[in-house]
Amino acid sequence: MHWTCGAVYITEKLIPHDSVLEQVLSTNRQAGLPPIDVSAAQGKLLQLFVRMQNAKRILEIGTLGGYSTIWMARALPADGRLVTLELDPRHAEVAQANLSLAQVEGVVEIRVGNALEQLAKLEEEGAAPFDLIFIDADKPNNPGYLKWALRLSRPGTVIIGDNVIRGGEITNEASTDPRVNGVREFYDLLAQEDRISATAIQTVGSKGYDGFVLGIVNG
């Protein structure tokens, strides 16, 4: 496919080879984690968003093996903090080893368990608002994740959602796929919610045809 060639070209031109990140992906494969990490270009994009936002506090919903976590954590200042939520203890174990390999474990906290419960716990603990929130977990719960993201935000917080095009299936009103319907409800909530201004960017590349939602919490 032409977009696959384009993805390779972009990666070769703009994203220097990184042996640590390559090892992270290899470790994830060897551990049997599903191959659903963001691409290198998407990881770099997340890192740029962190830098543009001058973020010091990041919330990631969906850790997997920590690949996207590392991209974002590397852009944090020494006193920054990234809290990442992961349902599967095995995934969290692999991610923790990967964070140590990348030497970012000092700024990252992995919380294991149901993400909706972990989000409620963060609020109970009086967590300070996050500067950037990345939603990339189970899609049926996307609407719930967005509601919590807004509660854990401040005016100016950037909220990013991944996998929001799904090969164009989001336009299929008759879909019975809970992932598609979760994303469609996510869009419905964004359309109704006046606390956030958002748009979506469609992407093509090594991960196929998909996209990001990018929003900013209004003042």
Cβ atoms of 175 and 219 closer than 8 Å = no
How many Å separate Cα 138 from the centre of its chain?
A: 11
Which one-letter DSSP state was computed for residue 166? G
pLDDT at 166: 87
Q: How far apart are the first and last CA of the chain?
A: 43
182 closest CA partner among 192, 196, 169: 169
Question: What value does the CA radius of gyration of the chain take, rounded to a whole number of Å?
Answer: 17
pLDDT single digits (tens) 122-178? 999 999 999 999 999 999 999 999 999 999 999 999 999 998 998 888 999 999 999
Q: Distance between CA 173 and CA 171 in Å, rounded?
A: 6
Element at 61 (helix H, strand E): strand 57-61
141 closest CA partner among 182, 178, 113: 182
pLDDT at 76: 98
Give me the chain's average pLDDT, please: 95
Which one-letter DSSP state was computed for residue 120? H
pLDDT at 4: 67
Q: Is 13 exposed, middle or buried (0-12, 13-18, 19+ CB in 10 A)?
A: exposed
Q: Dihedral of CA 63/202/184/186: which sign?
A: positive
The residues of the chain scoring below 50 in pLDDT are none
CB atoms within 10 A of CB 202: 11
Q: Distance between CA 142 and CA 13 in Å, rounded?
A: 34
Q: Where are the alpha helices (DSSP H) in 74-202?
A: 89-101, 115-124, 142-151, 178-192
Can you name the residues that pair with 159 across neighbouring β-strands? 133, 215
pLDDT at 78: 94
pLDDT at 2: 62
